[in-house]
Amino acid sequence: MFTQLLTLFSLSAASFGGISGDLRLGDKYLADVKVTLTCGEATAETTTDANGSFRLTVKGEGKCRVTVSYQGQTPGLDVVVFDKPARYRLILEQADGKYLLKRV
CATH number at residue 22: 2.60.40.10
In a domain, 9, yes or no: no
Assess if residue 6 is contained within a domain.
Answer: no
* Mean pLDDT, rounded, for 60-76: 96
Q: What is the pTM of this model?
A: 0.84
- C-alpha span between 40 and 44 (Å, rounded): 11
Quick check: 44 and 65 in contact, CB under 8 A?
A: no
pLDDT score recorded for residue 70:
97
Answer yes or no: is pLDDT of 50 > 90: yes
Flag whether 5 is in a domain.
no
Residue 22 lies in a domain: yes
Please give the pLDDT value at position 8. 41
**Residue 30 forms part of a structural domain:** yes
Return the pLDDT at 98: 96
Q: If you ran DSSP here, which 8-state letter would residue 10 be given? A: H
For residue 25, the enclosing domain spans: 14-103
Exposure string of 34-53, with b = 16+ CB inside 10 Å and e = fewer, is ebbbbbeebbbebebeeebe
Is 4 inside any structural domain? no
